[in-house]
Chain A
Amino acid sequence: MPIGAGAIVGMGASLIGGIFGSSAAKKAKKAAAREARRLEAKLNHLEENRQEVVNPYEDFENLSGMLSNPFANLGVATQAAEIKREESDLALASTLDTLRATGASAGGATALAQAALRSKKDIAADIEQQEAQNEKLKAQGEQQLQQQKMSEAQRMQQAGAAGKQFVFQVQEGREQQQIDRTASLLGQAKQAAGMAAAAQTGAITGMFGNLAQIGISQIK
């Protein structure tokens, strides 16, 4: 509501309108300046308190510790060779004892001993081969397991990094958006303050056209 005409002076409505127009412009200028101050502080706070830049790969670890050479301790089947020798010796001794007891010829004993030795040799070789094969399979399994573990650990690290990067980017995007928006509002508020100041000048200038109405034209 405009100021009461009688409160100022009983005069034309245009002067009262001028006072009212000027007061509205002053209010607008003040409000715009206040808004600009508020937005400036908000913008400063946003800029000063942006989230820290994160390194999404900071948790990456050197996974080489997970690796070992599964072939480093491949067992040589020496025990099989030992058994083979001991068993051959034992067989030979007992066959000889038998030959002595039965009075067999020396040639027969030798042939028997050779046969026994051959048989034991074959068995030993077979055991040795099986043991070596088992060792090899075990090492291969271990190698495969290590590869799988390594691959899973890498996948987990990669996923963690991607997640961090995503969260950072979303927050960063929103903060930047907010900074841009506040900066734009600040520009608008400053422009509004400028326009209000111009309106205030206009209103006061307009009032001068009506000064004659207040009976003070004689001093001009």
Chain B
Amino acid sequence: MNKNVITNLTIKQMTQSSAMGFDKSYLARSSDVNFDILGKAFANTGKEYARLKIAVENNTCQSDNCNFEINRMKQLKEAPKDALDFLSLIVAEVETTEEPNFDPNNNYEYTVINCILKQRPGFSKTDGYDVALYLLEDGTQDLVFVGPAFETPLVINNSSLNSLYEAGISIVTSTPDITKEMAKLLTEVNIFHMEDVNTNGELKANAKIKEQFILKNPDGTFIYEVVDLGNGKGRNLLQYDMDKIMKTANPFVESEISGLLAVEQEAVAAWNVYLSEGKYWSYTEDLPLSQDKKDLFAKKYKDYFMDNYLKKFTENQVPTNPEDAAIFDLEEVKKAKAQAFIKANNL
């Protein structure tokens, strides 16, 4: 595991474990969480605005036609709204780090920012953290985070963040809940009857795969797998035509995959959390996804769906006919088979 993953997981564990509540040294000291972000940023803006306004009104501007002064006044007027918008966008982004299936391969610094803004124990001014908002001359704003977890100050510009937001790109990737999606997908792949789906769009507990997918003899009887239950007893289990099942389900599964790959950064998160088996993809190095990676994603997604969702409906399925479902004596069945063979072959 890399440092980023370890840091993310450590912070997660720390914030969820309540361990700080039992740390006497933490309890013994005061903790200053008053970063006063807006207060500091706007401390002198009132004076500056007044100065600019007087200059414009008295025609004592330093720039031609008071262009600079008027422009700056406009910026200062809009700055509070922009600052609030900026902060709310940062909160919206970094709150993703709290999601239960959050991918720890996301940059851990955003997890730290979330902890600072949420005043989590261990991320106060007393612990060495600080945040400052700067109103830049070009009208944009920088939010700068410093503290022990940051190797260098982390700077986020509101204009850049906003552009990403408008383009549908996140600085922290939310992981799609593919387990929930797969449970829904199961009802859509055309191998269960619609009557087996409840009003919530989920499969009922007693749902069975359609009979057309069960293996049968040419005479229409089922081809059972006989399992040895021990103590000389056995029972029949249904067998399924897996090729036929996959062929039928495939178009629906592939359209689901196609949807997931439409938001590639989320596909990376889904890969890392559910499918990768430890072979993580990087948000900085593996995006955009190569065709090889897309193909690998599709393959693993299908395997995951098969192993964790479909298989349980094809394994250990007892015949619905009570006579065939009954437990029987294996020895007797063997004898009956032998006799039938002798009779059929006139031996």
CB of B46 within 8 A of CB of A37, answer no
Interface size range on A against B: 35 or more
Which residues of the other chain, A, contact B168 by a CB distance below 8 angstroms? 30, 33-34, 37
- When C-beta atoms are compared, the residue in chain B nearest to A203 turns out to be B88
Binds A, one of B35-43, B103-111, B305-313: B35-43
Chain B residues with CB under 8 Å of A46's CB are 251-252, 255
One digit per residue, 1 when the CB lies within 8 angstroms of any chain B CB and 0 when it does not, for chain A 140-166 equals 000000000000000000000000000
On whether the beta carbons of A26 and B35 are closer than 8 Å, the reply is: no
Contact mask for chain A residues 106-149; partner B; CB cutoff 8 A; 1 contact, 0 none:
00000000000000000000000000000000000000000000
By the criterion CB–CB under 8 Å, are B84 and A23 in contact?
Answer: no
The answer to whether the Cβ of B229 comes within 8 Å of any Cβ in the partner chain is no
Chain A residues contacting B89 (CB-CB under 8 Å) are 23, 26
Report chain B residues within 8 Å CB of A9: 36-39
Contacts of B170 in A (CB 8 A): 30
B62-70, B151-159, B230-238, B260-268: which lies at the interface: B260-268
Stretch of B20-28, B116-124, B323-331 lying at the A interface: B116-124
Closest Cβ of chain B to A188, distance in Å, is 13
| Contact for A26 among B50, B92, B262, CB less than 8 A | B92
Stretch of B2-10, B75-83, B276-284 at the chain-chain interface: B75-83
Given A18-B84, A33-B168, A220-B77, is A4 in contact with B118 using a C-beta cutoff of 8 Å?
A: yes
Set A39, A40, A204: member contacting B84, Cβ < 8 A: A204
- Stretch with Cβ within 8 A of B (4 or more), from A69-77, A89-97, A171-179: A171-179
B258 at the interface (CB under 8 A from A): yes
Interface residues of B in 244-288 (CB under 8 A from A): 248, 251-252, 254-256, 258-263, 266
Most A CB within 10 A of own CB, among B87, B92, B261:
B92
- Please report the C-alpha to C-alpha distance between residue A178 and residue B187 in the assembled complex, in whole angstroms: 10
Q: How far is the CB of B264 from chain A (nearest CB, A)?
A: 11
Q: Mark B11-53, 1 if CB is under 8 A from A, else 0.
A: 0000000000000000000000111111100100110011000
Chain B residues within 8 Å of A175, by CB: 251
- Using a CB-CB cutoff of 8 Å, which residues 33-59 of chain A contact chain B? 33-34, 37-46, 49-51
How far is B92's CA from A3's CA once the two chains are assembled, in angstroms?
10
Name the A residues within 8 Å of B117 (CB-CB): 3-4, 7
A190 on the interface (CB 8 Å rule)? no
Given contacts A30-B92, A178-B188, contact A207 B84 (CB under 8 A): yes
B38: A residues at CB distance < 8 A: 8-9, 11, 214, 216
CB pair B35 A6 closer than 8 Å = yes
The reply on B142 being an interface residue by CB < 8 A is: no
Alpha-carbon gap, A209 to B42, bound state (A): 17
Give complex CA distance A182, B252 in Å: 11
Contact of B85 among A22, A30, A49 (CB under 8 A): A22
Interface residue B196 (Cβ < 8 Å from any Cβ of A)? no
Q: Are B92 and A23 in contact (CB under 8 A)?
A: yes
- CB of B42 within 8 A of CB of A214, answer yes
**Beyond A38-B263, A42-B259, A51-B251, is A216–B45 a contact (Cβ under 8 Å)?**
yes
Q: Would you mind naming 7 contact pairs between A and B with Cβ atoms under 8 Å apart?
A: A7-B117, A8-B87, A18-B88, A27-B95, A171-B248, A208-B81, A216-B38
A residues lining the B interface (CB < 8 Å): 1, 3-4, 6-11, 15, 18-20, 22-24, 26-27, 30-31, 33-34, 37-46, 49-51, 170-171, 174-175, 178, 181-182, 203-204, 207-208, 211, 214-216, 218-220
